[in-house]
Structure 1
């Protein structure tokens, strides 16, 4: 089994599809599914670090069913079960039909070290202001895999962006993450 990390798929999201050079969300989603399934095998594990799609799950549930791998979700601000949304608890069950786990953050062991997983970086954003600061993990010295910043950076100190915009629109393998974390930041 291989382990992969990704973020910011933004299925059925008109604005992101256009920013990534696609004519429609359907065209974008089909391309991302093809890249994903050419990379990830059915028995692999994928940690999705949030912003799966735009709007209600029903809009892109069919896309999720096409993806290879056992999917785990660390929620992002566009995901219905994200705890920053008032009614998040009402969506957990539906999302667990597509994800083996749904959580606000996680910790994994990568390359012999503890690494935190969150949608949000410790600091920084793809906008001028750091949004959702009250939902960010504090930087207490551990490396952090995240999404949210789109193409703003790949690595920023201990923060490593695994979003599609900086990884050729495909998930990133555990070994690549370990190698990146071994490089001086």
Structure 2
């Protein structure tokens, strides 16, 4: 049985991300190896991974070698640094700018949970007032989390450089203080 995972902003091969995001690695080679190791610790070959952009800034040849080492079926949401990833398009199940994923989950009223996947943070998204989740990347943990919003930064800089499973995402969302707008007290 496969598991669904989410992640973003690996920036494989990107030297400057070490400085920009204050990543705790000595160099790009160490970073890339750590990111590959942490990915493969959690993800099995049959798992599905939704990557929300900025896979890598290495040459397409180098990036392809990295992608071939990663477990799972990878679905890519375009970020703002995808030139090399697009050249490796055959490694991805698909590449899209935006996606609305429906996950079967009996804990929800309709037996499913909708998750809006986009590289950038949104303030509102499809059915956000009904409890739809929104996952994003791009900001590398620089945007403050909004406790009353069912969204958060799924990027590796926010999660000890690991992807998160659907169950981990759901657990984080359960800690939020979100209330449906139609249930708020009248003012």
RMSD over aligned CA atoms reads 2.0
List, as ranges, runs of 4+ consecutive aligned residues in structure 1 with deviation greater than 3 Å.
none
State the distance in 1 between where 2:50 and 2:95 align: 10
In the alignment, which residue of structure 2 is the partner of 1:84? Answer: none
What do the CA deviations read for 1:140-183 (whole angstroms, capped 9, x no partner)? 52431111111225743232111001111010011111222233
Once the two structures are TM-superposed, the CA of residue 28 in structure 1 deviates from its matched residue by: 0.4
State the distance in 2 between where 1:97 and 1:113 align: 29
In the alignment, which residue of structure 1 is the partner of 2:98? Answer: 105
State the distance in 2 between where 1:57 and 1:39 align: 25
TM-score (norm 1): 0.79
In the alignment, which residue of structure 2 is the partner of 1:14? Answer: 15
Where does the alignment leave 5 or more consecutive residues of structure 1 unmatched? 82-90, 124-137
In the alignment, which residue of structure 2 is the partner of 1:177? Answer: 169
State the distance in 1 between where 2:78 and 2:157 align: 18
State the distance in 1 between where 2:102 and 2:75 align: 15
In the alignment, which residue of structure 1 is the partner of 2:108? Answer: none
Where does the alignment leave 5 or more consecutive residues of structure 2 unmatched? 106-111, 179-187
Out of 25, 36, 41, the position equivalent to 2:39 is 36
Once the two structures are TM-superposed, the CA of residue 97 in structure 1 deviates from its matched residue by: 1.4
What do the CA deviations read for 1:85-136 (whole angstroms, capped 9, x no partner)? xxxxxx85x332111110001111245321100010015xxxxxxxxxxxxx
Once the two structures are TM-superposed, the CA of residue 55 in structure 1 deviates from its matched residue by: 5.0
